[in-house]
Amino acid sequence: MENGKIYVIGLGPGGRAQMTERAVRALEKCGCIAGYGLYLELIAGLIEGKERIETGMTREIDRCKAARDAALSGKTVALVSSGDAGVYGMAGPLLEVSAGYEIDIEIIPGITAACSGGALLGSPLTCDFACVSLSGLLTPWEVIERRLRGAAAGDFAIALYNPASKKRTDALPRACAILLETLPPETVCGLVRSIGREGESRALTTLGELAAQPCDMLTTVFIGNSATRVIDGWMVTPRGYRGV
């Protein structure tokens, strides 16, 4: 039997409106959909009647292997991630577990939270920026600290993914303390929650106040660079043109 194909699909932050046409078309072609339950719910209308491979949040490798094996049995499979599948998503692990197998793989990019959240706040990432995940699940905290210090030293604007979870509530305060070693407390910051989903919200604050802001696993946090300012309620990192 011929091997099938795996489409690794970034779904964007939530909802059909922020998915690409290419992602929607690929989903239509797939008879089997693999992904975290919450994401499958977000696209329920698009995958009605299709076979589902669901595993819990922390069983990503099992999910990738199940997707690979389904493709090896001849199926056309979608492996879905929220946002972009290559940004803290399933594209890397899928490529790793598929190494050496003859499977056709196509990776379809999606709008990552840094972009969809940045658009809600204004334009915080206009110039050079860094993304840092505060999840210590796969990255030792010392490494996260080193990256935060590096981003602050380089005057990068920063998008923080995974700033908290139910069990992990101290990551954002710890990150703030590290950034405050270098950056002034007035540094403009923003938080977005549930982008593109019910209850979407945005808030502006400063680095000095950031640690006290409510945040959870559906929040993405933005820290401006030394030039970032608030203009009419927007978080703006100037591009640097003269005369504006």
For ligand SAH, the binding residues (CB under 6 A) are 13-14, 81-84, 87-89, 112-113, 117, 161-162, 192-197, 217-220
DSSP 44: G
Smallest distance, Å, CB 212 to ligand SAH?
A: 18
Q: Which is nearer to ligand SAH, 75 or 162 (CB)?
A: 162
Angstrom distance (rounded) from CA 88 to CA 129? 16
Smallest distance, Å, CB 177 to ligand SAH?
A: 19
Q: Which two tokens stand for residue 131?
A: 């993304």
Smallest distance, Å, CB 12 to ligand SAH?
A: 8
End-to-end CA distance of the chain: 63
Angstrom distance (rounded) from CA 28 to CA 19? 13
Q: Which is nearer to ligand SAH, 4 or 224 (CB)?
A: 224
Q: Which is nearer to ligand SAH, 207 or 221 (CB)?
A: 221
Which residue lies nearest ligand SAH, judged by its C-beta?
83
Amino acid at 239: R
Q: Which is nearer to ligand SAH, 88 or 156 (CB)?
A: 88
Smallest distance, Å, CB 143 to ligand SAH?
A: 17
Smallest distance, Å, CB 147 to ligand SAH?
A: 15
**Tokens 């209850």, residue?**
199
Q: Which residues pair with 40 in a beta bridge?
A: none
Sheet strands (E) in the chain: 5-10, 32-36, 51-55, 76-81, 104-108, 122-123, 129-133, 157-161, 188-193, 201-206, 219-223, 229-231, 234-236
Q: Which is nearer to ligand SAH, 194 or 206 (CB)?
A: 194
